[in-house]
Amino acid sequence: MRVDKLGEFGLIERFKRFIKLDSSVIQGAGDDCAVIKYTKDKYLLFTCDMLVEGVDFTSDENPYLIGRKSVAVSISDIAACAGLPKFCLVSLGLPKKTPVEFMDKFFKGTLDMLKRFKINLVGGDLSRAHKLTIDVSMLGVVEKRYLVLRKGAKVGDIIFVTGKLGGSIYGKHLRFVPRIKEARFLTKNFKIHSLIDISDGLAQDLGHILRESKCGAVIYEEAIPLDKAAKGIKDALYQGEDFELLFTLSRSEARRLWQKAKNKFIPIGEIIASKWGFRLIKKDGTRIMLKPKGFVHF
């Protein structure tokens, strides 16, 4: 069988069967970050992301923005666990004929983003490659009382997002700002039950929460905030690369959030019992079943 037949998530599940973890690991594969025991009141967060030319960016795009994105996606993973990013490694696979000027601009974009979030670049690696390939590993910390994972959604929770969705592939995916500030505000002031960043599309990433939490959901087309670049609801549902946060909290906490930060966070639906599945209520009132699909590599 080829990997494109098994699929990205099928391959991940196949690998997971062989992974054995010891008691130092609180959360392994299956969330935005690995969560590792650290101190009495904090956990370590560990994540990595690979960006490949022709998949995550094109060769004619601004190298400064490519460098910026290369670390921003990992910062977004830390945000999705409500942590603070601290250290990173950047490894590069470079074609031999890559202009040094291109890499100077790339590196400036990387460093500017790291400086913005007070992250230390502590090393990396270089290798020859046929296409520009970027691999970032990032280490963060989170207070135990603030950690939120994908698996905590509860029936009756209200589903929120932190911003507009869809059309990111037309430019926003290189310019987005990771939602560290928003995640910290939410977890310090409210009881958040589940949290994820939207990297592969609303349908797929909400689907991860539903699978891990063993719940269903109903979302409303009319409530989903579309970016001006989005060409329709399908872009928001399936296109990905938005890097907004998606989170759930109880109805009473949602009411408090709305009172304290009205219009900063957008409610789009509700968590329901798993037997009702995953549904979209269209603007005309039609109900359709959604599949948790979006961008996949295979």
Q: Checking phi first, is residue 201 left (phi over 0); if not, alpha (psi -120 to 50) or beta?
A: left
How do beta strands 216-220 and 266-272 pair?
antiparallel
**27/55 same-domain check:** yes
- Residue range of the domain that includes 19: 3-143
**Neighbouring residues of 243: CB distance < 8 A, sequence distance ≥ 6:** 72, 73, 76, 168, 173, 176, 178, 179, 197, 198, 199
Task: Write out the two tokens for 214.
Answer: 């063993």
- Domain boundary residue, one of 128, 143, 158: 143
Q: What is the CATH number of the domain that holds 158?
A: 3.90.650.10
**132/220 same-domain check:** no
- Domain boundary residue, one of 121, 143, 165: 143
Q: What is the pLDDT of residues 113-134, one digit of tens each?
A: 999 999 999 999 999 999 999 9
User: Which has the closest alpha carbon to 191: 254, 244, 140?
Assistant: 254
For residues 60 and 90, give the distance between their C-alpha atoms in angstroms, rounded to a whole number. 21
Instruction: Say what the pLDDT of residue 297 is.
Output: 56
- Domain boundary residue, one of 97, 127, 143: 143
Instruction: Kindly state whether residue 295 falls inside one of the protein's structural domains.
Output: no
Query: For residue 110, what is the enclosing H or E element?
Result: helix 100-116
Instruction: Kindly state whether residue 158 falls inside one of the protein's structural domains.
Output: yes
**263/158 same-domain check:** yes
Instruction: Say what the pLDDT of residue 294 is.
Output: 58
Instruction: Say what the pLDDT of residue 298 is.
Output: 45
Instruction: Kindly state whether residue 294 falls inside one of the protein's structural domains.
Output: no
Using the 8-state DSSP alphabet, how is residue 148 labeled? -
User: Which has the closest alpha carbon to 257: 203, 194, 188, 204?
Assistant: 188
Beta bridge partners of 288: 280
**237/211 same-domain check:** yes
- Hey, CA dihedral for 234, 237, 239, 242, is it positive or negative? positive
Residues of the chain with pLDDT under 50: 298
The number of domains in the chain is: 2
Instruction: Kindly state whether residue 296 falls inside one of the protein's structural domains.
Output: no
**114/176 same-domain check:** no
Instruction: Say what the pLDDT of residue 293 is.
Output: 66
**96/155 same-domain check:** no
What is the reported pTM?
0.94
**11/33 same-domain check:** yes
φ, ψ of residue 57 to 5 degrees: the values are -165, 165
For residues 185 and 88, give the distance between their C-alpha atoms in angstroms, rounded to a whole number. 24
